[in-house]
Amino acid sequence: MGVLILPIVLVLAWVFALLGWSPIGGQAGDDFADSAMRWMLFLPVGIQFIVSGFMHTVFAKSTAKGIGWVTNGFQYEIGFVCWGLGVAGLLAMTRGPEAWLVISVPVIIFLLLAGVQHIKQMAVEKNFKPGNSLILLYDFGLPISLIALLLATQSV
């Protein structure tokens, strides 16, 4: 049930922001939305996408099995994209609203469309494996969080 780590990391980012903990790149006195955005970019975007990159490359076979797929070259490409998004998330968290917007757009589009693909797999292929169904909490939860925070920080 390693797939549950993704929504847990998303929740942890919100909890840390609600507790008022200052994230890397943040300063004491930052408003809630700025702090929450930095936590989103650090944990569920930065760290989690880097981990996902390893899962889709180094642990490709077990990850594919957990999703209900067969390992193939495209899975490695997903891993490479995840590494790029993760590193960009870590860089953006220490910058300002323009960087937050620039990294959030591809993350939002990628995850929303991945979520649609997972729903399609459930409807058409009857694939309800945890890696294909529980991942929806992250696929839709993180984009909704990022959109809300982009609006709250007036980054759009």
**How far is the CA of 102 from the CAs of 15, 18, 46, 130, 139, in angstroms?**
24, 24, 14, 31, 19
- Tokens 């909890």 belong to which residue? 15
pLDDT at site 60: 85
Torsion angle of alpha carbons 153, 37, 24, 92, nearest 10°? -80
Per-residue pLDDT of the chain (156 residues; tens, 9 = 90+): 577 899 999 999 999 999 999 998 888 788 999 999 999 999 999 999 999 999 999 988 888 888 888 888 888 999 999 999 999 999 999 999 999 999 999 999 999 999 999 999 999 999 998 888 999 999 999 999 999 999 999 998
pLDDT at site 1: 56
Which of 100, 103, 70, 73 shows the shortest CA–CA distance to 85? 103
pTM above 0.95, yes or no: no
pLDDT at site 30: 87
Who's near 63: CB < 8 A, 6+ residues apart? 55, 56, 75, 131
